[in-house]
Structure formats: structure tokens, C-alpha cells
């Protein structure tokens, strides 16, 4: 009997959670052809087809649906074992900074796992915007940060890639207008720049109907139906959903986030960075 390779299971779950092989490839940092080869290898190990044609893409077979729960449990056990070995004697402090997207989705469960296995390590959490978190990392007040990536940085230890999507209230826009109403964070923001560039390229009329310095303000404006916004699926909860296709919104690029570790950070910070790099892409991105 062949063992189930955790790397193959991670790729399989990336497909399950994203629904597309191309998105899974981006999530695990591999090419689409490499992901296809991994899925074929996993099917050989299992001895059953896991994916089948479904519309224009692929869906899970009954065997694939059965494997999902097993895959999540296997990876959870691997994570717990690794954390237990790393955290048994660890002590000290880890100061981590993150954007609100990950503070709401994905990070809490991983921090809980880290805190359970590293009971003597004090965790200090700071939530903010990417620019200020990057500055705090450079000044030494943070050991680790999850920030939107503009250009490669020498302190990166992991990169997460997730689709940007247009989002609006589940009740729709409060009023329909010729100009598309947008809710955007104040400059400088990668999502703001991507939204405006895509609309300009498409020749679409728009106006900034709501501006905010925080994601809390952005969420309020979108929930109220005042405007729509551009984020990732991590922002799609509590009444916010993907905008309907009938709005004819332009395609947008992938969002990139970097996990950055301060040079000289203590071992527990490195352990947490590894945990996030291995698991954050699969944690909560499509809740």
C-alpha cells in the first residue's frame, strides 16, 4: 500500500477550495501542468479517478468527495506533529502583523494551533495596512508580517497568490447608475490601483462613492449597497458576496501577499512563518 503524500493532498485540497486547477496551481506555487501531474499521481496512488469533467472545468468524483475529509485530517495530524516537536521547549515572544483580510480569515485557527503547541511563547498581534506593517517590520517592532506584495523583498519566506474578485452586498447595489460606484481604501492600496487600472482599461465609467482608511469602513459601505469593491474571497462574508456577472465587470489580476520574516528573528518566529507558509493558503480563503 502506497502512502498518501502530504504535498499531493495539499494540491488536491487547493483545487477543492478554489474550484479551478489554475487557481490551485497559483495557490501552491506550481504550474498548471505540474498540478495536473500531481492529481494524476494521486489518482494512481488512490486507485480511483478523483476529478471528472464538469461543464467547462472539472469536479470531484464520488471517490474525490470521500478523500476530502481524509486529506484534511491527514494534513492536520502532520501539522500538529510538526508543531509539537518544534514547540516543546520554545519560549519568548513573537510579534506578528497582518492585514485585516487574514485576521478575519485563516490566521485565527493557525495562531490557535501555534499557541497550543508553543504555550511558553507570547504572541503579540498587530492588524494594519501593508505599508505600515512593512515599516514596523523594518524598524524591528514586528518579527513577522503578512502584507500585500508589490515587489519581491529579501525577507520574504513565503508568497500567497489569490484571485481578486469584485464584491458587493448580497442585497445588491442600493441604486443603479451609469457610473459604477466604488468603495476603496485610501491611497496607497494595491486593490485600489488594480480596480482603477482594470476599469480604465475597459473604458468603464466609475466614481469613488466611498473612501476609507480601514477595511471596517469599506465593509460598512459595501454592506449598505453604497458601492462595490475589489478584494479577495477572504472579504466575502457577513453579507458580502461576489458581484453578479450581469454587471459586466472587467477581469482583474491575482493578488499576491508576502509572508516576511525579520532578519535575526528568534526561532519561534521562524516556526510560525513556516506554519503560515505551509497552511495559510488553504485556511479560510473561501469560507
As a CATH number, domain 91-161+255-282 is 3.40.190.10
Residue 88 is predicted with a pLDDT of 56
Can you read off the three cell numbers belonging to residue 233?
474571497
Architecture of domain 6-84: Orthogonal Bundle (1.10)
- Considering the chain, what percentage of its residues have pLDDT values greater than 70? 95
55 — alpha (psi -120 to 50), left (phi > 0) or beta? left
pLDDT, tens digit, 9 for 90 and up, residues 83-106: 776 655 666 889 999 998 898 888
Residue 286 is predicted with a pLDDT of 38
Architecture of domain 165-252: 3-Layer(aba) Sandwich (3.40)
What residue spans in the chain does CATH classification 3.40.190.10 cover?
91-161+255-282, 165-252
pLDDT, tens digit, 9 for 90 and up, residues 128-180: 989 899 999 999 999 999 999 988 889 999 988 888 999 999 998 888 778 99
pLDDT, tens digit, 9 for 90 and up, residues 181-226: 999 998 888 999 999 999 999 999 999 999 998 888 999 999 999 9
Q: What is the mean pLDDT of residues 16-25?
A: 78
Can you read off the three cell numbers belonging to residue 7?
504535498
First to last CA, the chain: 34
How far is it, in rounded angstroms, from Cα 215 to Cα 139?
24
Can you read off the three cell numbers belonging to residue 132?
505600515
* Radius of gyration for the alpha carbons in the chain, expressed in angstroms and rounded: 20
pTM higher than 0.85: no
What residue spans in the chain does CATH classification 1.10.10.10 cover?
6-84
How far is it, in rounded angstroms, from Cα 51 to Cα 48?
9
Least confident of 1-5, 10-14, 136-140, 262-266: 1-5
Average pLDDT, the chain: 87
Amino acid at each position: 500500500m502506497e502512502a498518501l503524500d502530504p504535498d499531493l493532498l495539499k494540491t488536491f485540497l487547493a483545487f477543492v477550495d478554489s474550484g479551478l486547477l489554475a487557481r490551485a496551481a497559483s495557490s501552491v506555487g506550481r504550474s498548471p501542468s505540474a498540478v495536473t501531474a500531481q492529481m494524476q499521481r494521486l489518482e494512481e496512488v488512490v486507485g480511483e479517478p478523483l476529478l471528472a469533467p464538469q461543464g467547462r472545468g472539472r469536479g470531484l468524483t464520488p471517490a474525490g468527495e470521500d478523500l476530502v475529509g481524509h486529506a484534511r485530517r491527514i494534513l492536520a495530524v502532520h501539522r500538529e506533529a510538526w508543531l509539537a516537536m518544534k514547540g516543546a521547549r520554545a519560549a519568548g515572544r513573537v510579534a506578528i502583523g497582518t492585514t485585516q483580510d487574514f485576521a478575519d480569515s485563516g490566521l485565527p485557527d493557525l495562531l490557535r494551533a501555534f499557541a497550543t503547541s508553543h504555550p511558553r511563547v507570547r504572541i503579540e498581534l498587530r492588524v494594519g495596512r501593508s505599508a505600515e506593517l512593512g515599516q514596523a517590520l523594518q524598524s524591528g517592532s514586528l518579527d513577522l508580517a503578512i502584507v500585500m506584495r508589490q515587489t519581491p523583498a529579501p525577507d520574504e519566506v513565503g508568497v500567497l497568490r489569490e484571485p481578486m474578485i469584485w464584491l458587493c452586498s448580497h442585497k445588491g447595489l442600493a441604486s443603479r447608475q451609469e457610473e459604477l460606484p466604488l468603495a476603496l481604501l485610501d491611497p496607497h492600496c494595491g486593490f485600489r490601483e488594480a480596480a482603477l487600472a482594470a476599469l480604465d482599461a475597459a473604458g468603464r465609467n466609475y466614481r469613488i462613492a466611498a473612501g476609507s482608511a480601514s477595511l471596517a469602513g469599506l465593509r460598512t459601505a459595501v454592506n449598505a449597497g453604497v458601492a462595490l469593491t475589489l478584494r479577495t474571497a477572504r472579504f466575502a462574508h457577513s453579507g458580502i458576496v461576489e458581484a453578479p456577472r450581469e454587471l459586466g465587470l472587467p477581469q482583474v489580476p491575482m493578488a499576491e501577499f508576502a509572508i516576511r520574516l525579520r532578519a535575526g528573528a528568534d526561532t519561534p518566529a521562524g516556526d510560525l512563518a513556516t506554519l503560515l507558509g505551509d497552511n495559510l493558503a488553504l485556511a479560510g480563503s473561501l469560507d
